[in-house]
Amino acid sequence: MRDTGVGRVYLVGAGPGDPGLLTVRGLQCLREADALVYDRLANDRLLAEARPDAERIYVGKEPDAHTLTQDEICQLLVRLGLEGKTVCRLKGGDPFVFGRGGEEALALLEVGVPFEIVPGVTSAIAAAAYAGIPVTHRGVATSFAAITGHEDPTKGESSIRWDRLATGVDTLVFLMGVGNLPHIVENLVANGRPAGTPVALVRWGTTPKQRVVTGTLADIVERVAAARLKSPALIVVGEVVALREQLKWFDQRPLFGKRVVVTRSREQASALTEKLEALGASVTEAPTIRIEDLADYAEVDSALRQLATYDWVVFTSVNAVQHVRRRLDVLGLDARAFGGVQLCAIGPATGDALRQFGLRPELVPERFVAESVVEAFAEHDLAGKRVLLPRALEARELIPEKLAERGAHVDVVPVYRTVADERSADMLKQLVASGEVDVLTFTASSTVHNFVKLVGEEAAHALPAEVVCASIGPVTSRTAEEYGLTVAVEASEHTIDGLADALAAWQQA
């Protein structure tokens, strides 16, 4: 395509819902875009991959309730392209599988705006696969077809050749057909498909909200009505549906369907979110803490310039490592400044953060709480030793006090501060009031303190009995209990992995 000098529009298939199914090329286009145009079937998690300064435009595309009509969407893409912008048009599924991507491409072609098609994983295959249904299977189905289920049943003549389709293809996949399910069933049976043919409807396929209703052509309409299943869902018709009982996997994971709230800081929430989602949970990130820089780094910088005068530096969090590393960069220093200094890291994550900086901790306690740091120093003579403790502005005094009792001279130097993340207040209040939470996770005492601060003590005390509080360790659990919260799940290994494993074990118990 000839470069016209104007912008460029990427018509990107966002996949069926699971953000992990976006293609590598699609992610690249998303991250480069000046403007992002998206609909409701594009996972919200993908929006976070766009540049912070990228324009975000929601264009709806819900059944019978479009924010913009298709013609208006085409004109929007044309306008943005003619303005010289790089545009990512993020479409659910694949742009050319009932995505009307062809219409958008033709509109761009007409005015000379360059475009690129980035195929996506269509729900016609992926949602069925996540439900444990292969659209083809040796000895069962050697063909499949994807059919629109959105055809108006009241129009004079159907564009679907029901007489050939009903028995001419082994597996039929209807997209956008929940509202027309009775019409689809009637036409299939009337044209020779046996009433006993297995059928499955998959709603919100590939996401933690996935629901599957199965039956046959004879009873699927009644089963779907009884289950109150709504769109978006696809309909799979064929003998392969019977394989679901053996092959279902996605909705068999230990935390499938559980609604879990992650209260970690926004920068750190993703690690826990990914682990919980891998276990099947539906995760809402509602950070209760925000990591902030200090107003004055004079004390920190002074200590870092004198690192060689210390015998030990004790890191109690990944945040401390990151902020020390940042200040060293500002000072024109690097890992060599720690030459001759011994390092202690509380937990493997903090140890890994040091190793990424080119440093090897001499001491990593087996348990990942402040008390274990004190215990780990039991075999070391600290009399007269100088210890630097870079940490949060507000933290427990146990480590400096106990090390001082052992004869060490401890310099406590704040390198960051944690504050309540007021941006989550309304979301947390709504979640608590809605009753749509199964698990609240707390990864530090600060997340508990600020959860109570943001929702209010009265609301925190009134949490429904069925809401499970899960804690990363005993110190965090004690803090929660001091606020009247009951901790039902506590990680035996006080790490993010340990917390996720504890939740999985709790659900399977």
CATH of the domain at 411: 3.40.50.10090
Percent of the residues in the chain that have a pLDDT greater than 70, as a whole number: 96
Q: Domain range holding 177?
A: 125-248
- The alpha helices in 180-337, defined as continuous H runs, are 181-190, 220-227, 244-247, 269-278, 298-305, 318-330
Q: Could you tell me if residue 380 is inside a domain?
A: yes
Q: Which residues are catalytic?
A: 39, 61, 176
Q: Which of 168-172, 215-219, 255-259 has the lowest mean pLDDT?
A: 255-259
Residues 412 and 449 in one domain: no
Residues 304 and 412 in one domain: yes
Residues 376 and 266 in one domain: no
Q: Which of 30-34, 39-43, 165-169, 209-213 has the lowest mean pLDDT?
A: 39-43
Report the pLDDT value the prediction gives residue 367, as an integer from 0 to 100.
Answer: 64
Report the pLDDT value the prediction gives residue 369, as an integer from 0 to 100.
Answer: 66
Q: Could you tell me if residue 2 is inside a domain?
A: no
Residues 373 and 318 in one domain: yes
Is the per-residue pLDDT at 194 higher than 80? Answer: yes
The string of pLDDT tens digits covering residues 351-406 is 999 999 999 999 988 666 667 778 888 889 999 999 999 998 887 788 889 899 99
Q: Could you tell me if residue 264 is inside a domain?
A: yes
- pTM equals 0.78
Q: In a 10 Å sphere around its CB, with 0-12 CB exposed, 13-18 middle and 19+ buried, how is residue 156 labelled?
A: exposed
Of 367, 361, 356, 358, residue with least CA distance to 312: 361
Distance CA 79, CA 293 (A): 41
Task: Give 147's DSSP letter.
Answer: E
Report the pLDDT value the prediction gives residue 60, as an integer from 0 to 100.
Answer: 80
Residues 159 and 57 in one domain: no
Q: Could you tell me if residue 1 is inside a domain?
A: no
Q: Which of 71-75, 200-204, 281-285, 347-351 has the lowest mean pLDDT?
A: 347-351
Q: Could you tell me if residue 3 is inside a domain?
A: no
Residues 139 and 238 in one domain: yes
Asked if 499 contacts 272 with a C-beta cutoff of 8 angstroms, the reply is yes
Report the pLDDT value the prediction gives residue 167, as an integer from 0 to 100.
Answer: 97
95 pLDDT band (50/70/90 cuts)?
Answer: very high
Residues 383 and 493 in one domain: no
Average pLDDT of span 33-45: 86
Task: Give 344's DSSP letter.
Answer: E
- The alpha helices in 141-293, defined as continuous H runs, are 162-168, 181-190, 220-227, 244-247, 269-278
Is the per-residue pLDDT at 65 higher than 80? Answer: no
346 pLDDT band (50/70/90 cuts)?
Answer: confident
Report the pLDDT value the prediction gives residue 475, as an integer from 0 to 100.
Answer: 86
Report the pLDDT value the prediction gives residue 158, as an integer from 0 to 100.
Answer: 81
Highest mean pLDDT among 39-53, 87-101, 262-276: 87-101
Report the pLDDT value the prediction gives residue 45, as an integer from 0 to 100.
Answer: 80
Report the pLDDT value the prediction gives residue 171, as an integer from 0 to 100.
Answer: 98
Residues 309 and 238 in one domain: no
- What radius of gyration, in Å, describes the C-alpha atoms of the chain? 28
Is the per-residue pLDDT at 154 higher than 70? Answer: no
Report the pLDDT value the prediction gives residue 181, as an integer from 0 to 100.
Answer: 97
Distance CA 453, CA 6 (A): 51
The string of pLDDT tens digits covering residues 459-500 is 898 888 889 999 999 889 999 999 999 999 999 988 899 999
Asked if 212 contacts 97 with a C-beta cutoff of 8 angstroms, the reply is no
Q: Could you tell me if residue 131 is inside a domain?
A: yes
Is the per-residue pLDDT at 156 higher than 70? Answer: no
Report the pLDDT value the prediction gives residue 3, as an integer from 0 to 100.
Answer: 46
Asked if 82 contacts 111 with a C-beta cutoff of 8 angstroms, the reply is yes
Average pLDDT of span 322-335: 95
Residues 71 and 100 in one domain: yes
Number of structural domains, the chain? 4
327 pLDDT band (50/70/90 cuts)?
Answer: very high
Q: Could you tell me if residue 253 is inside a domain?
A: no
Q: Could you tell me if residue 45 is inside a domain?
A: yes
Residues 300 and 443 in one domain: no
Q: Cα 54 to chain center, whole Å?
A: 20
Average pLDDT of span 113-127: 97
Residues 111 and 136 in one domain: no
Report the pLDDT value the prediction gives residue 63, as an integer from 0 to 100.
Answer: 55
Is the per-residue pLDDT at 71 higher than 70? Answer: yes
Residues 165 and 238 in one domain: yes
Q: Which of 38-42, 164-168, 294-298, 450-454 has the lowest mean pLDDT?
A: 38-42
Asked if 389 contacts 262 with a C-beta cutoff of 8 angstroms, the reply is no
Helix (H) or strand (E) holding 391: strand 386-392
- As a whole number of Å, the end-to-end CA separation of the chain is 59
Domain finish residue from 78, 102, 121 = 121
